[in-house]
């Protein structure tokens, strides 16, 4: 697990949320460079895919994680729920 507090020490806390902001420039080819602090914190690698979402007049980039990294994320979940008769 990454330690966000150490890696993004220059961030501000606004309304209970840690907010980090940089200004980047869009190149003539419409490319932007993701700041190094963000790349390290999120573990981004060259060639890694990200989803690009247009949401309320802003662009959000969401890293796509390999499915193998999801292994075990439900460990310890309570599976002792009552099942319907036709679902057993």
- Identify the CATH number of the domain in which residue 8 sits: 2.10.260.10
Tokens 């507090």 belong to: 5
The boundaries of the domain holding residue 56 are 4-76
Is 83 part of a structural domain of the chain?
no
Token couple for 57: 């007049």
Structural domain tally of the chain?
Answer: 1
DSSP the chain: ---HHHHTTT-EEETTEEE--------TTS--PPPHHHHHHHT--TT--EEEEEETTEEEEEEPPPGGGGTTTTTT----PPPPGGG-
* pTM of structure: 0.59
Tens-digit pLDDT string for the chain (88 aa)? 344 444 455 566 656 666 778 889 999 999 999 998 889 888 899 999 999 999 999 999 999 988 887 788 888 888 888 878 787 6
């Amino acid at each position: 697990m990454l330690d966000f507090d150490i890696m993004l020490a220059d961030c501000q806390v606004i309304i209970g949320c840690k907010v980090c902001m940089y200004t980047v420039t869009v190149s003539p080819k419409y490319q932007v460079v993701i700041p190094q602090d963000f790349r390290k914190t999120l573990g981004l690698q060259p060639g890694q895919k990200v989803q690009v979402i247009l949401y309320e007049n802003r662009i959000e980039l969401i890293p796509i994680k390999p499915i193998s990294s999801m292994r075990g994320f439900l460990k310890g979940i309570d599976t002792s729920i009552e099942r319907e008769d036709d679902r057993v």
